[in-house]
Structure formats: structure tokens, C-alpha cells
């Protein structure tokens, strides 16, 4: 049963990576840039939700919504102030700017919220009354379900994370496949000038992409901190890098690729931790990445660039 | 017949390269006007400047008596200019149908009539409506690029070398379609390497040489001119 346990936690961690990877992959697909500040937007989202719930006693769902709204705005503002002026600049300049924005967000968080760890509240639990052997009735929190007589334990966070990831993937697939804005996004990611000639406002489309990615980052931040409840200003950076890796792994620019890459990365990481070595798990993850990229340079679901002359 | 497009003294640069040197021309409603010239003369640059993909340092561009030279491309398109870009530029990963939908992006309201019209004009596209555009043949892609531009029901249709890389039979078909569009009242600004074919359908033409207009006249005049014959029509 322990294998199944590891698999489920791998899928759950992978779901979080997948949601974050979406932000990288969508922005890369359209703006052709790596938004390295994306991981830190996750951290901001987690902090906003933390304060909304712990300090202002808002219900968790409202806290998540507030975090999404603020991160969405933050994403749009970052794009407007930091990246839009560099639209015509070489990609190296944009990359350095993105790294700068990342440090800016981390330092701002340190100033605003200090680097003392915050303990993220438990959202996904339910209170049940339990009769103890001596006959008294107690109300205790339960944060998961036991299966197979307690051999397999699945926490609510895990279930919610996987479900949320699936819903987001389905919603985004429907959005890019069927809506006018979604199709405009695909058109921009293929050929910006041709998209302009269709009457598409490319700047607006890029803003919308940043908005969606950042809104999702807030959800990822809350899910991440629900599973690993220590919140510090650098909380987002490692998952951010892993999710970026997941996006490359799956084929950057591809939405199903982000899902596949995220899930595989999560499962490989947890399995490596469980069966090989905790210290080496990251090295193993990246070794697998390198092998995949050697065999398939565009990632698992990435499309080779082809042109017809 | 009113003037639909008036370009006055535009100068366009690529960095330090001075590609368009003070060009002026106009297109009247219902006309086919063609720009011809050798490779690198500045034909595509001119069309891209009218469409707003590039901007001129001087002069002005008026469309339906309104200045458009300061507008962004998407704003110009929504005023009624469509362009079939050089090299087709269809969205390779989108289906034929989706490409046509994108053509109607700036339109409001029902587009089924226009879609039917385009499919009538290009039956081949209808057969392949679910096919991804990147897998179409070159000629089919060209038809798609034209159909896509027509989906916006433009007042002015600009085409940049629509016959490039096509078999002679397809070139004929493309020019037949251009004539048909003309008959239906569409105003067309056509850029072509194939000067013979372009001048024979055009009402008027302009000859570009290294960023300047060197000659202009009716299609028939230019076809008959010895200098043009020598330079562009192979004798
Ligand atoms: N992106 C660019 N950067 C620098 N120079 C350019 C660029 N595009 C075009 N040019 C230059 O501007 C001039 C005009 O180019 P343009 O593409 O308008 O020519 P054209 O008449 O369309 O030629 P062709 O018939 O080969 O398509 C050429 O000298 C070309 O080298
Ligand atoms: Mg050209």
C-alpha cells in the first residue's frame, strides 16, 4: 500500500506543479518569455490568503478569492511596468528583468511580512465527534479519509488539489478551444503580426494571459501551503523552478504538456524521495529532465517548429 | 468614385535602413491598384505601413478621409482594411475553420453568410474545414489566407504576392478570384512579382524602385510602356 500512498502524494504534488507550470507555459507561448517571477506570485497569493483568513477572519473560500484577485492584478501590473517596455528588447534583457522582478517580490515580502515563518491554517479538514474508549465524546479534526482499514490514507488536501487541477485543465482547454479570447491567444502564440492583421489587440491578449497565469498562481499558492504549511518569502521559488522544469519537460507552450510534465515531475520526485534518497531527489528529477530533453528536445508534448515555404 | 486610401510622402526605416523614400499614391473606391517592382523595392514595406504593422516617420495615411497612420494595426483592421500577408502566414496549428473565424475577429454579429460565401469561392477549403492549416498544400494555404482576409468584409483588401510559389493553373485561379472580387465591388491593392498578370487585371499601377515610385499609369499604359516591358516583363 505504501507504493499507492506515494503515488497519490506524487500526483498531488504534481498537480500543484502543473497549475504553476500553466502560468509559465501560457506566458511563454504568447509572450515568448520566461517569467521567472511567476513562482513569487505564488508566494504573494499564499500570504494574501493567510492574512485574509488569519488576521481578518474571512472564510477560506473568500480568502482564496481575494488572493486570486490581488495576484491577477499583480500579474497585470508586473507585465505593464516591467515587461511591456521591453517588448522589442533582446530576450536576455527580458530574462534578467524577470529575475529582478522575482527578487523584488521576495524582498518586498520580507519587508512587509518579515522572514519569520508563518504557519498556514488548515482549510481542508472536518470536525467529527468521536467517542473515546472511556466513554467521553470529543470533537476532533479529521483531515483525510482512511481506505482499506487504514492502510491507505488520503488527505482532503490531496483530493482537493487533484480535483482543482483537473477542473482548471478542463476549463482552460475549453477556454482556449472555444472562446474568442482563447482563440486570439492561440493565434498570438503562433504569429503575432498575423494576429494583429486579424484585428487582435496583442497587448490586451498578453495582459489577459498574465492575468490568468497569476490568478492560477494564487490557487497554487494556497494549495501548496495547505500541503506544506510553512510560509516564508522564498516559499515560491523552489516550486516555481520545479514547475518551470515541468513546463519544459511537458513541452513549453503546451497546456496538456504542463499537466503531464507537472504530474510526472511530482511522481518522480516523491518516488525518488521514498525509494532512493531524500537528498538526491532533486538531482534525480533533473537527470530525468535532461534525458527526456536529449531524446525529445521539444519536451514530451512540445511541437517541433515546422514551416512551409 | 471617392478616394478610399491616400498615402502621402511616407518614409519608413528599418533601424538605419531607409526602405521607403517619400512615397505617395492613392486608391479609389472600386479600383484594383497594383504596386510592382523588383525584389527589395519596398512593396511589402509599403503595405505593412498602410496596415499599421510599421509606421512612417513622415507624411500621412488616410483611409476613408480619416488619418490612420498613428493607429495600431488592430484598430486599422477594424476600420475595414484586410491584408493577405506575404508568405500566407496562416495559423498552422489551427483548423481551416478556426483560421476563418480569426479573420472575422473584428466583426460583430453573424458571420455565417460570409463563411458560406468564402466556402463557395474556395470549395476546397470547405472540404478541409476540420483540417489543421499547417497540413494544407501551399496553394490551399494561399486560398485560406485570402478567405481569411475576406471574412472581415473589408472595404480595402491588400494582397502581398498572392501568386507566389503557385503552379500556373493556380495563379490563373487566384487572378480569376481577384477579378471576381473586383466585380463584386471590393477595392484591391495588389502587390505582385508577376507584373504581367497584375497589370492586366489592374486599373492603375505604380512602379517602385529602391523605395521610390518611378512610374505610374493605367494598367494598359504600363503594360505597353517599353521601359516597363524591358525591366519587368522580360523584353
Ligand atoms: N525586417 C527588416 N529589417 C531590415 N531591413 C528590411 C526588413 N524588411 C525589409 N527590409 C529591407 O527593406 C527593403 C524593402 O523590403 P520589402 O520587403 O518591402 O521589399 P519587397 O518589394 O516586398 O521585395 P520582395 O519582392 O522581395 O518581397 C529591402 O531592401 C529589405 O532588405
Ligand atoms: Mg515583399
Q: What are A91-106's pLDDT values in tens digits?
A: 899 999 999 999 999 9
> Above 50 in pLDDT, residue A307?
no
Contact B102 A195 (CB under 8 A): yes
pLDDT mean across residues, chain B: 92
Indicate whether A28 belongs to any domain: yes
Query: What confidence tier does A109 reach under pLDDT thresholds 50, 70, 90?
Result: very high
> Above 60 in pLDDT, residue A305?
no
Task: Give the residue, out of B10, B20, B44, with the most ligand 1 atoms within 8 A of its beta carbon, to mutate for a pocket test.
Answer: B44
Q: How far, rounded to the nearest angstrom, does the alpha carbon of residue B9 sit from its chain's CA centroid?
A: 20
Model pLDDT, residue B233? 66
Strands A230-231 and B3-14: unpaired
- Is residue A135 exposed (0-12), middle (13-18) or buried (19+ Cβ within 10 Å)? exposed
A55 touching B (Cβ < 8 Å): no
Extract long-range pairs of A277-285: CB within 8 Å, 24+ residues apart: A285/A242, A285/A245
Decide: B37 in ligand 1 pocket, CB within 6 A: yes
**Count: domains in chain A:** 1
> Above 80 in pLDDT, residue B235?
no
Q: How far, rounded to the nearest angstrom, does the alpha carbon of residue B64 sit from its chain's CA centroid?
A: 17
The single-letter DSSP state of residue A79 is I
Task: Report the predicted TM-score, pTM, of the whole model to 2 decimal places.
Answer: 0.90
Model pLDDT, residue A2? 84
Asked which of A3-12, A144-153, B58-67 is least confident by mean pLDDT, the reply is A144-153
The CA-to-CA distance between both ends of chain A, in Å, stands at: 56
Torsion angles phi and psi, residue B84, rounded to 5: -95, 105
- Is residue B123 exposed (0-12), middle (13-18) or buried (19+ Cβ within 10 Å)? exposed
Contact (CB, 8 A) for A58 and A52? yes
> Above 50 in pLDDT, residue A309?
no
Indicate whether A64 belongs to any domain: yes
**Domain at A66, CATH number:** 1.10.3470
Expressed in angstroms and rounded, the spacing between residue B206 Cα and the centre of ligand 2 is 15
**Which domain covers residue A237, as residue numbers?**
3-295
Instruction: Report how many helices (DSSP H) and strands (DSSP E) chain A contains, helices first.
Output: 11, 6
Contact (CB, 8 A) for A169 and A255? yes
Indicate whether A309 belongs to any domain: no
What's the residue count for chain A? 309
Decide: B48 in ligand 1 pocket, CB within 6 A: no
Torsion angles phi and psi, residue A138, rounded to 5: -120, 150
- C-alpha A267/C-alpha A25 separation (Å) is 20
Expressed in angstroms and rounded, the spacing between residue A189 Cα and the centre of ligand 1 is 24
List every span in chain B annotated with CATH 3.40.50.300: 3-80+155-232
Q: How far, rounded to the nearest angstrom, does the alpha carbon of residue A76 sit from its chain's CA centroid?
A: 17
Model pLDDT, residue A28? 92
Contact B89 A202 (CB under 8 A): no
Give bridge partners of residue B157 from the DSSP assignment: B82, B188
CA distances from A8 to A2, A3, A114, A155, A287 (A): 10, 9, 34, 10, 22
- C-alpha A150/C-alpha A144 separation (Å) is 11
Indicate whether A87 belongs to any domain: yes
Contact (CB, 8 A) for B213 and B206? yes
CATH code of B3-80+155-232, in short, is 3.40.50.300
- C-alpha B90/C-alpha B155 separation (Å) is 21
Q: What is the pLDDT of residues B26-71, one digit of tens each?
A: 999 999 999 999 899 999 999 999 999 999 999 999 999 999 999 9
- C-alpha A266/C-alpha A274 separation (Å) is 12
Read off the C-alpha cell for A70: 490581488
The distance between the two most distant Cα atoms of chain B, rounded to a whole number of Å, is 51
Evaluate the CA torsion angle A174, A180, A182, A183 in order and state its sign: positive
CA distances from A58 to A65, A141, A202, A227 (A): 11, 20, 37, 20
Contact B89 A180 (CB under 8 A): no
User: What is the ipTM metric for this complex?
Assistant: 0.93
Contact (CB, 8 A) for B99 and B91? yes
- C-alpha B68/C-alpha B51 separation (Å) is 9
Amino acid at each position: 500500500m505504501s507504493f499507492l500512498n506515494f503515488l497519490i502524494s506524487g500526483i498531488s504534488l504534481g498537480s500543484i506543479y502543473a497549475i504553476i507550470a500553466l502560468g509559465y507555459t501560457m506566458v511563454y507561448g504568447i509572450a515568448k518569455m520566461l517569467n521567472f517571477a511567476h513562482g513569487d506570485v505564488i508566494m504573494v497569493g499564499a500570504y494574501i490568503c493567510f492574512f485574509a483568513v488569519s488576521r481578518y477572519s474571512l472564510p477560506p473560500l473568500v480568502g482564496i478569492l481575494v488572493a486570486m484577485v490581488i495576484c491577477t492584478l499583480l500579474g497585470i501590473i508586473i507585465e505593464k511596468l516591467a515587461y511591456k517596455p521591453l517588448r522589442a528588447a533582446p530576450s536576455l534583457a527580458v530574462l534578467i528583468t524577470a529575475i529582478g522582478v522575482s527578487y523584488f517580490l521576495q524582498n518586498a515580502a520580507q519587508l512587509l511580512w518579515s522572514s519569520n515563518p508563518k504557519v498556514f491554517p488548515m482549510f481542508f479538514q472536518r470536525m467529527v465527534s468521536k467517542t473515546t474508549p472511556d466513554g467521553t465524546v470529543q470533537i476532533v479534526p479529521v483531515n483525510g479519509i482512511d481506505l482499506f482499514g487504514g492502510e491507505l490514507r488520503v488527505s482532503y488536501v490531496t483530493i482537493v488539489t487533484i480535483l482543482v487541477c483537473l477542473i482548471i485543465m478542463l476549463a482552460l482547454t475549453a477556454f482556449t478551444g472555444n472562446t474568442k479570447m482563447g482563440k486570439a491567444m492561440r493565434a498570438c502564440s503562433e504569429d503575432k503580426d498575423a494576429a494583429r492583421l486579424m484585428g487582435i489587440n496583442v497587448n490586451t491578449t498578453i495582459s489577459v494571459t498574465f492575468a490568468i497565469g497569476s490568478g492560477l498562481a494564487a490557487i497554487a499558492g494556497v494549495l501548496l501551503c495547505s500541503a506544506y504549511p510553512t510560509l516564508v518569502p522564498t516559499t515560491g521559488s523552489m516550486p516555481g523552478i520545479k514547475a518551470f522544469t515541468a513546463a519544459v519537460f511537458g513541452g513549453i507552450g503546451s497546456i496538456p504538456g504542463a499537466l503531464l510534465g507537472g504530474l510526472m515531475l511530482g511522481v518522480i520526485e516523491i518516488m525518488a524521495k521514498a525509494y532512493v534518497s531524500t537528498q538526491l531527489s532533486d538531482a534525480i528529477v533533473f537527470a530525468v529532465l535532461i534525458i527526456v530533453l536529449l531524446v525529445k528536445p521539444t519536451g514530451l508534448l512540445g511541437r517541433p517548429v515546422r514551416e512551409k515555404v | 468614385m471617392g478616394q478610399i486610401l491616400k498615402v502621402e510622402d511616407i518614409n519608413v526605416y528599418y533601424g538605419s535602413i531607409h526602405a521607403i523614400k517619400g512615397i505617395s499614391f492613392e486608391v479609389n473606391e472600386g479600383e484594383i491598384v497594383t504596386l510592382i517592382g523588383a525584389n527589395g523595392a519596398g512593396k511589402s514595406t509599403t503595405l505593412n505601413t498602410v496596415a499599421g504593422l510599421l509606421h512612417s516617420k513622415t507624411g500621412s495615411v488616410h483611409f476613408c478621409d480619416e488619418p490612420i497612420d498613428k493607429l495600431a494595426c488592430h484598430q486599422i483592421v477594424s476600420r475595414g482594411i484586410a491584408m493577405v500577408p506575404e508568405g500566407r502566414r496562416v495559423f498552422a496549428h489551427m483548423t481551416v475553420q478556426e483560421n476563418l473565424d480569426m479573420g472575422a475577429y473584428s466583426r460583430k454579429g453573424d458571420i455565417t453568410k460570409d463563411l458560406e460565401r468564402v466556402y463557395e469561392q474556395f470549395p476546397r477549403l470547405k472540404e478541409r474545414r476540420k483540417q489543421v492549416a499547417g497540413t494544407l498544400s501551399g496553394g490551399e494555404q494561399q486560398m485560406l489566407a485570402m478567405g481569411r482576409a475576406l471574412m472581415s468584409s473589408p472595404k480595402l483588401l491588400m494582397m502581398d504576392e498572392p501568386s507566389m510559389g503557385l503552379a500556373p493553373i493556380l495563379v490563373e485561379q487566384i487572378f480569376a478570384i481577384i477579378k471576381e472580387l473586383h466585380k463584386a465591388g471590393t477595392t484591391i491593392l495588389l502587390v505582385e512579382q508577376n507584373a504581367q498578370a497584375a497589370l492586366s487585371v489592374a486599373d492603375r499601377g505604380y512602379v517602385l524602385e529602391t523605395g521610390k515610385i518611378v512610374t505610374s499609369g493605367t494598367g494598359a499604359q504600363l503594360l505597353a510602356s517599353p521601359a516597363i516591358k524591358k525591366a519587368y516583363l522580360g523584353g
